[in-house]
Structure 1
Amino acid sequence: MLIKDYKGWELEKAVPNSFEDFFNRSEVTFEKDGREKTLTITYVQYFEEFMSEFTPFRQDPLFEIGSREVAFKDIVAAVCLLNQPDFSERKRVFVSSKTEFLSLFNGFDFNKLPDRLRTD
């Protein structure tokens, strides 16, 4: 599986009474079996406050790859894909439970992440 691109962003309200501004979206585009696919993870922004509990990172941006600063929201979908390969068959995942969100990162080796994310 080859990661081709990854990014994350904060959602903005589409209408005044929506809750979209409480969520982040992370997306990873990858190639598997000769086909390009995209996985999107939408999750509650608040979960990022706990990143030091389940990652070695203490602040955003997490690290740099070349001249690109990589933020937590940029890596969520990529980590989910790499840590749980069955996600490669899905297009979208919505995570509203902190327990479920934390479980997506269980056992992941973050030391290898920068090398896996190099797209140049």
Structure 2
Amino acid sequence: MSSAAEIWTEAYVEAWRSNDAQQIGALFTEDARYLTSPDSEPRVGRDAIVSGWLEDLDEPGTWTFDWSILHEDEGFAIVQGRTQYPAERDYLNLWVIRLDPHGSATEFTEWYMPRPHEE
């Protein structure tokens, strides 16, 4: 059986692939906070999160994402990932996710560290 963090992360990746506003919005609580980096101004609220996502989206098929759960505790998870954009860039990712009892994110913070691009 999959954990809440695994289910949420799989849904996030599916929303990332589709860029579908309903799929994106379903990931977050109405008053969620989304930080695109630890020191960025958060997007606050589902509507702001969806709007920000769609303004800065990745086109489907231009990236791959491999991930694993590093730690999960009740309502809290850390995900390690690697995002590769074969045409141009490569990142290591660390996500901190806070989930409500229903499995929706109340807060999401991402770190991404560029890696040398492999040709």
TM-score range, shorter chain: under 0.3
| Higher strand fraction (1 or 2) | 2
- What is the TM-score with the length of structure 2 in the denominator? 0.28
Q: Which has the higher contact order (CA 8 A, sep 6+)?
A: 1
